[in-house]
Every structure is written in C-alpha cells, then in structure tokens.
Structure 1
Amino acid sequence: MSTLVKTHFANPSYLNGFFGKDLFNEIAAPAFSGSVPAVNVIENTEGFKIEVAAPGLQKSDFKLNLEKNQLTISAQKEQNEEEKNEKYTRREFKYTSFQRTFTLPNTIDGDRIEATYNEGVLSIALPKREEAKEKPARQIEIA
C-alpha cells in the first residue's frame, strides 16, 4: 500500500515518486504551449483531482485510458484553414496533440474515475477506495 506524504508545491519531490515523474514536468509552463498543457493535482479526503488546462480543444478531442494503474491522457486536433481568391489558394494544416501518463496509487478506485471538460479545463476525479479513506479517531473499549 502506498502512502502519500502531504507537501506543498515548493517541494514536490515526495509526490514525484507517488504519481510518477511526468506529473511535475513543465508544471510551471504556460497553460498550453503546444506541447504539454499545465496540470494541477489536488487531494482531498475523498480522493484526487487532476485538472488539465487545454483551451481550444473539444471534449471529443480527448482520450483517457486506464491500464493497470497507469492513466494516460491524450488529445489530438487537426485544423484546416483554406483561403481562396481569384489568383491563388492557400491551405494551412495545424495539428495539436499531447499525451501524459500518470502512475496512480493503489488507493484509487479505478472503476469510479470520472472526467468532465468545461471552459478549456479537463477535470478528472480519482476517488479513493473506501478502505483507503482516513477514518476518524475512535475509542477502543477494553474487554
């Protein structure tokens, strides 16, 4: 069973091993520079949330794949632009794509992962298994 040592982003080294080194690559990069979008990872009592800043894409451009404990987020978009005038025709093709893979801890319930895309942000909810959630302190009676 993996444990998470809570830290802040000023010292992400603990979380690098937990989610995999790819998590913090280019985390300080602009929202979407054309190669890899910025990512936020948030933990709460119910689980984790990954937010991917990917403006200009549509929900249908994304693919999420979970294999064993590897979550792969990818997107691909092709844009064609054509300008015609009486003397010439200009066509431009633009491709935007990226792929990120995260190693998830064993405490994540893979069957309950959900994703939404709203206003340029892909949000992925990674709920913890019930047995992995922190339980409140309790008094144990001695028999």
Structure 2
Amino acid sequence: MSVIRYEPWSLVSRLHHDLDRLFTQEFARGDDARVAVCDWVPAVDVVETADAFVLTADLPGVEPQDIEVTMENGVLSIRGRRVNETYNGQSGYRRIERQSGEFFRRFTLPDTADADAISAKTSNGVLEVRIGKRAEVQPRRIEIKVS
C-alpha cells in the first residue's frame, strides 16, 4: 500500500487563485476589454516602454492564421479561435480542461499610440503585439493680447 500525501490547503490556494483571476478579468479592467461573448479569455500582459506599448498574449494551440489583430479609434482588438481536434466527441475522456473556441480581447490605448506603427508576431504559442508611440506633442502657449 502506498502513501499519498494530501494537502488540503493546495486546493484552497488554487481556488483563491482562480477566483482572483476571474474577478480581475471581469471587473478590474475598466476598458471594456471583453464586450463580446466568447468561449475563453487568453491571459494578456501590457507593458509600456519608452517607445512602444507591448501586449503579450498566451495563445497556445492557436494557429497564426486563426488570429486577427485590428486597431480602430484607439482600440486594439485581438480575436481568434482555438480548435481542440483531439476531443471531437470521442468517449473515454475523464477530464477536459483545455479550453477551445472563440476568444476576443479589446484594449483602449492612450492617444500617444501610433496606429500606423503596429506589428505582431507569434512564437511558441505567445503573440506579441507592438504599438509604437507618437512623438510627444508639446503644448503650445497662446499669448493673450489686450485690446
């Protein structure tokens, strides 16, 4: 008979992590990041550098031709589809945790984002979208004349 170590707090910790991620995704965005109904939501990091905004999305199993990146009116949209071809209604599965189907994310970018300087690449299931920044516009002082 073998001894199996049981750690009840690991289940609580995992539940806490999952709930924290759910509430962060759903309520803390403030940018209508997910307006459309979708089957799953990929994790995305957004980093601002000196010359660009860089979005990194985890999209394992998503083919590059199944990803669409668009920018309109200062809103960057990433949409696509992941197909799980291994399941296809086969019996015998005891657990299915990998999500598949349509996904959609939307991010409102600041006015400094340059819609003409966007590039996207994918490597090992990670999508990187780089949005260049416009040169900062300096405020112009307007002289007030006395008549």
**Length-normalised TM-score, structure 1:** 0.59
Secondary structure at 1:131's aligned position in 2?
A: coil
Gaps of 5+ in 1: 1-14, 24-33, 84-89, 133-143
- What is the distance in 2 between the residues matched to 1:56 and 1:82? 14
What's the C-alpha RMSD, in Å, of the aligned pairs? Answer: 3.1
Q: How do 1:62-141 and structure 2 match up within 5 A?
A: 62-80=67-85, 95-131=100-136
Q: CA deviation at 1:43?
A: 1.3
What is the aligned counterpart of 2:33 among 22, 32, 52? Answer: 22
| Structure 2: distance between partners of 1:102 and 1:95 | 22
SS in structure 2 opposite 1:105? coil
Contact 2:62-2:83 within 8 A present in 1 as well: no
* Secondary structure in structure 2 of the residue aligned to 1:60: helix
Q: CA deviation at 1:68?
A: 1.1
What's the CA shift for 1:46?
0.7
Cα distance in 2 between the residues matched to 1:117 and 1:80: 21
Q: From the CA coordinates, give the structure whose radius of gyration is larger.
A: 2
1:6-50 deviations in Å (ceiling 9; x for gaps): xxxxxxxxx955xx2538xxxxxxxxxx61011111111111100
Amino acid at match of 1:22: A
Gaps of 5+ in 2: 1-27, 92-98, 138-147
Would the alpha carbon gap of residues 67 and 21 (structure 1) be closer, same or farther in structure 2, given more than 3 Å must change? closer
Say whether 1:44 aligns with 2:78. no
Q: Which structure: greater strand fraction?
A: 1
